[in-house]
Amino acid sequence: ATPTALLVGTGRGAQLGILIKGPEVLESTRTVDTIVLDKTGTVTEGRMALIDVIPAPGETRDEVLRLAASLEHASEHPIAKAITNSWRDSPARHTVLVGRPELIGDLPLPRDFANFNGFEATNTRTDLGKQPKPVDDLADFEEFDDRTDLGKQPKPVSDLPVPQHVDDLANLEEFDDRTDLGKQPKPVSDLPVPQHFANLEGLGVRGVVEGRTVLVGRPKLVGELPPELVVVWDQAQAVGRTAVAVGWDGEARGVITVADTVKATSAEAIRSLRGLGLTPILLTGDHQAAAEAVAAEVGIAVEHVIAGVLPADKVDVVKRLQAEGRTVAMVGDGVNDAAALAQADLGLAMGTGTDAAIQAADLTLVRGDLRVTATAIRLARRTLRVIK
């Protein structure tokens, strides 16, 4: 039978916004001496804001942002959100929406606007949804090419361009999850739909946009940066920003810099954890310099910053620390933290984080407040003392 004090401990935990998987979890809090903190979304808000888009020579800012945003639409990563939000607010976007005024909202009307009145959907066989075929002027509309997979495609009539990838906005939020690559995005707003989208966890995203293979993420994914972009990259890093490279057709075409903010409560939380005798370690997939800037802000020593770690390797960092004889608590929020949370002697998930993290953790901090980590450990230790 579970000692009453343990049950009381877990009940008190719930009141404080700490969900405990089971009373047995509390045991490891006694010996924990090291606490590994994920950076993005745990120590920082995880809500990144776009700072700058820097095109490579010969490229334009708009094109770099537009292609990056097309891909990132399919990602939930904080960097992805910064990029898509920025495109949404960008004056450069070329909106091609046809429909009710409320659909179009306050967007500017495009020049050379054409109303394809009388087009009727015929193709229901592809992911791209129904494709229009002209039905109005039958004299000009009798020929169709039905030799391709896509079914009948409209032939050009008069001088109007034939729209491609016409989407039925009734399906605006649908995703195709029938492939190995995971959920495939459907068009939202005016961005082209990437094909063969792949989320390369901890590295970036890849997909085919308008026939070009586009990559956004770490430079090693994208290709060598031209010297102009290396300068920009180093500058961004020097001030602690996160930078991602954008490339297509095998070449780096731009750099996008984003900034996250450290949670107002993180420094205090880390002081409390130290007060409990724990050594805080900052662990991240982000670059060393970005990580060090955050560490400095919250009071974590440079030698306790472990950066550039791939999601799959986060668990190895925990194992290594355990092999050194440490008892390790880990706090994280992302899918990429789940394995490490499970490996840690005590795994704590941000309640604001992903389901994968919450499922892997022993404790969940409901409000995503890092200060509650110290509260949880203090409460658990006190509860255990009562039992002894």
> Which does residue 286 touch among ligand ADP, Mg ion, none (CB within 5 to 8 A, set by kind)?
ligand ADP
Name which of 11 and 182 has its Cβ closer to ligand ADP: 182
Closest CB 79 distance from ligand ADP, rounded Å: 4
Which parts of 104-143 interact with Mg ion (CB under 5 A)?
A: none
Closest CB 333 distance from Mg ion, rounded Å: 5
Q: How far apart are CA 26 and CA 362, in angstroms?
A: 9
313 near Mg ion, judged by CB under 5 A:
no
**Inter-residue contact 130 to 122 (CB < 8 Å):** yes
Q: How far apart are CA 55 and CA 246, in angstroms?
A: 9
Mark whether 38 is an active-site residue: yes
Nearest to 323 by CA among 305, 343, 301: 343
Closest CB 341 distance from ligand ADP, rounded Å: 13
Name which of 128 and 244 has its Cβ closer to ligand ADP: 244
Which parts of 185-214 interact with Mg ion (CB under 5 A)?
A: none
- DSSP codes, 283-350: E-SS-HHHHHHHHHHHT--GGGEE-S--HHHHHHHHHHHHHTT--EEEEE-SGGGHHHHHHSSEEEEE
Name which of 28 and 40 has its Cβ closer to Mg ion: 40
**Inter-residue contact 85 to 65 (CB < 8 Å):** no
Rg (the chain; Cα; Å): 25
Contacts 24+ apart (CB under 8 A), 315-324: 315/339, 315/340, 315/342, 315/343, 317/36, 317/283, 318/36, 318/343, 318/344, 319/343, 321/34, 321/36, 321/281
334 near Mg ion, judged by CB under 5 A:
yes
Name which of 130 and 218 has its Cβ closer to ligand ADP: 218
Contact region with Mg ion (CB under 5 A), list: 17-25, 38-46, 156-164, 238-246: 38-46
DSSP single-letter state for residue 44: B
C-alpha 249: how far from chain center: 23
> Which does residue 9 touch among Mg ion, ligand ADP, none (CB within 5 to 8 A, set by kind)?
none
Instruction: Using CB positions, name the residue nearest to Mg ion.
Output: 334
Name which of 40 and 199 has its Cβ closer to Mg ion: 40
Closest CB 214 distance from ligand ADP, rounded Å: 11
Q: 272-291 b/e with 16+ CB inside 10 Å = b?
A: bbeeeebbbbbbbbbbebbb
Name which of 10 and 352 has its Cβ closer to Mg ion: 352
> Which does residue 345 touch among Mg ion, ligand ADP, none (CB within 5 to 8 A, set by kind)?
none
Instruction: Using CB positions, name the residue nearest to ligand ADP.
Output: 285
> Which does residue 244 touch among ligand ADP, Mg ion, none (CB within 5 to 8 A, set by kind)?
ligand ADP
Closest CB 314 distance from Mg ion, rounded Å: 10
Closest CB 97 distance from ligand ADP, rounded Å: 25
Q: How far apart are CA 233 and CA 230, in angstroms?
A: 5
Name which of 67 and 216 has its Cβ closer to ligand ADP: 216
Q: How far apart are CA 270 and CA 145, in angstroms?
A: 65
> Which does residue 311 touch among Mg ion, ligand ADP, none (CB within 5 to 8 A, set by kind)?
ligand ADP
φ, ψ of residue 217 to 5 degrees: the values are 155, -145
DSSP single-letter state for residue 248: E
Q: At what angle do helices 227-238 and 288-298 cross, to 10 degrees?
A: 10
Among 29, 38, 218, 346, binds Mg ion (CB under 5 A): 38
Contact region with Mg ion (CB under 5 A), list: 13-21, 32-40, 179-187, 218-226: 32-40
Closest CB 234 distance from ligand ADP, rounded Å: 15
> Which does residue 252 touch among Mg ion, ligand ADP, none (CB within 5 to 8 A, set by kind)?
none
Question: What burial class does residue 324 get, using C-beta atoms within 10 Å of its C-beta: 0-12 exposed, 13-18 middle, 19+ buried?
Answer: exposed
> Which does residue 44 touch among ligand ADP, Mg ion, none (CB within 5 to 8 A, set by kind)?
none
Instruction: Considering the candidates 33, 38, 159, 249, report the single residue annotated as catalytic.
Output: 38
Residues in touch with ligand ADP (CB under 6 A): 38-40, 72, 75, 77, 79-80, 202-205, 216-218, 242, 244, 284-286, 311, 334, 336
- By annotation, the residues acting in catalysis are 38
Instruction: Give the binding site for Mg ion (CB under 5 A).
Output: 38, 40-41, 333-334
